[in-house]
Amino acid sequence: MAVPKRKTTRMKRGFRRSADALAQPSYIEDKESGELRRPHHIDLKTGKYRGRQVLEPKGDA
């Protein structure tokens, strides 16, 4: 059975666990509509992604 030779310090343990922290989702302001949206996601209000019409706009349907 594998047994650690030394106790892991609080600092090393913290470095390992730092990636587990939850981060607030980031939002950016859309250039065309001015609405907040997630980066790299389709704007559901206009149906556009990177300037192209991808979906039908949500309000018209």
43 burial (CB, 10 Å; 0-12 / 13-18 / 19+) is buried
Residue 45 to residue 43: CA distance in whole angstroms: 6
State the residue range of the domain holding 35: 24-61
Would you say residue 48 lies in a domain?
Answer: yes
Residue 13 lies in a domain: no
> Dihedral of CA 54/55/59/61: which sign?
positive
**Per-residue model confidence (pLDDT) at position 57:** 82
pLDDT band with cut points at 50, 70 and 90 for residue 59: low
Look at the pTM and tell me if it is higher than 0.75.
Answer: no
Could you tell me if residue 19 is inside a domain? no
Q: What is the mean pLDDT of residues 43-58?
A: 86
User: Total structural domains in the chain?
Assistant: 1
